[in-house]
């Protein structure tokens, strides 16, 4: 997180993490934080907000505030300014570990040296759409939540990116992709950041382990002949990056280029330990071949 002024993992331990989002510090449950905290308890006790409830990433709960806090506050990453919010499912509007992918995607856009068509599925509050758009890409942002898309468009206005070519689409990701395949549309870059479980606008069920093979088969058809990249991030930690790698390889194995897989992790400030957050697989075209 070097150079990002609006986020820090301050400490972790005993199943919790202490973080700073902009000017506020928060405590949230974290199953991966199995060690002991490095900072004194008094520093944890001074946190502005504490989340209690289900320890699952998508589990419900509630926030306890130690002082009066605003409904939203502004934070910044690169060219994007975005709103933070305290959500009932312990989120605050951004997944910090994705910064590694945001930077990588912008590098891919620059390397292509041409305007890329990028598809962002399960786009949430839009940072992974706004940053590519700011770098010159034409972006299609898909999410099943009207509220999330409204939040993403707020972030677009905050960032002064109203003039950038972004299509905002509220739809079930699988149904959208199926229609795009039938239409013969293609994309030069695909960002795929699905939940473990989810529901579309009409109750469509998404399950990572049963839905992902079909999704990848469809996305292979959506990659253009001059495709530059594709990223899959998985928060299904009971899987493994090897399983993710093999699944993506099965569907993209015929493509030249580089496929790399691993874990996304955040390094804490207090003790320097790494907090594993998610798994990823990402493919990029050979240098010079996608232009």
pLDDT for the residue 54: 60
Q: For position 193, what pLDDT does the model report?
A: 94
| CA–CA dist 260, 241 (Å, integer) | 10
Contacts of 20 (CB under 8 A, 6+ apart): 7, 8, 10, 26
pLDDT in tens, 117-141: 999 999 999 999 999 999 999 999 9
Q: How far is CA 260 from CA 68, 111, 123, 257, 291, in A?
A: 44, 18, 22, 10, 21
Give pLDDT, residue 53: 74
CA distance 72 to 259: 38
Q: Between helices 208-222 and 173-183, what is the axis angle to 10°?
A: 20
pLDDT-flagged residues of the chain (< 50): 290-291
pTM of the model: 0.92
At residue 223, the pLDDT reads: 98
pLDDT for 238 = 62
Please report how many Cα atoms fall inside a 13 Å half-sphere around the Cα of residue 161, on the Cβ side: 29
pLDDT at 237: 62
Tens of pLDDT along 59-68? 567 899 999 9
pLDDT score at 60: 62
Distance between CA atoms of residues 21 and 9, nearest Å: 9
């Amino acid at each position: 997180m070097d150079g990002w002024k609006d986020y820090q993992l301050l400490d972790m331990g005993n199943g919790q993490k202490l973080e700073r989002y902009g000017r506020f510090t928060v405590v949230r449950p974290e199953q991966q934080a199995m060690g002991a905290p490095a900072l004194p308890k008094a520093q944890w006790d001074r946190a502005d907000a504490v989340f209690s409830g289900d320890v699952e990433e998508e589990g419900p709960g509630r926030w306890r505030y130690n002082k009066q806090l605003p409904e939203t506050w502004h934070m910044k990453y690169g060219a994007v300014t975005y709103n933070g919010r305290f959500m009932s499912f312990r989120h605050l509007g951004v997944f910090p570990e994705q910064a590694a992918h945001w930077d990588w995607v912008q590098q891919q856009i620059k390397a292509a040296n041409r305007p890329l068509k990028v598809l962002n599925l399960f786009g949430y509050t839009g940072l992974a759409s706004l940053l590519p758009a700011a770098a010159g890409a034409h972006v299609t942002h898909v999410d099943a939540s009207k509220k999330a898309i409204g939040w993403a468009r707020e972030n677009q206005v905050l960032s002064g990116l109203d003039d950038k070519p972004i299509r905002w689409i509220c739809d079930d990701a699988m149904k959208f992709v199926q229609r795009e395949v039938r239409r013969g549309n293609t994309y030069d870059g695909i960002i795929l950041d699905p939940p473990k479980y989810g529901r579309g606008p009409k109750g469509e069920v998404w399950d990572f382990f049963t839905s992902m093979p079909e999704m990848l088969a469809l996305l292979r058809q959506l990659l253009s002949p001059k495709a530059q990249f594709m990223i899959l991030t998985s928060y299904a930690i009971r899987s493994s990056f090897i399983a993710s790698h093999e699944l993506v390889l099965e569907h993209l194995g015929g493509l030249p280029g580089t496929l790399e897989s691993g874990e996304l992790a955040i390094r804490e400030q207090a003790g320097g330990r790494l907090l594993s957050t998610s798994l990823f697989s990402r493919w990029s075209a050979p240098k010079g071949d996608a232009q």
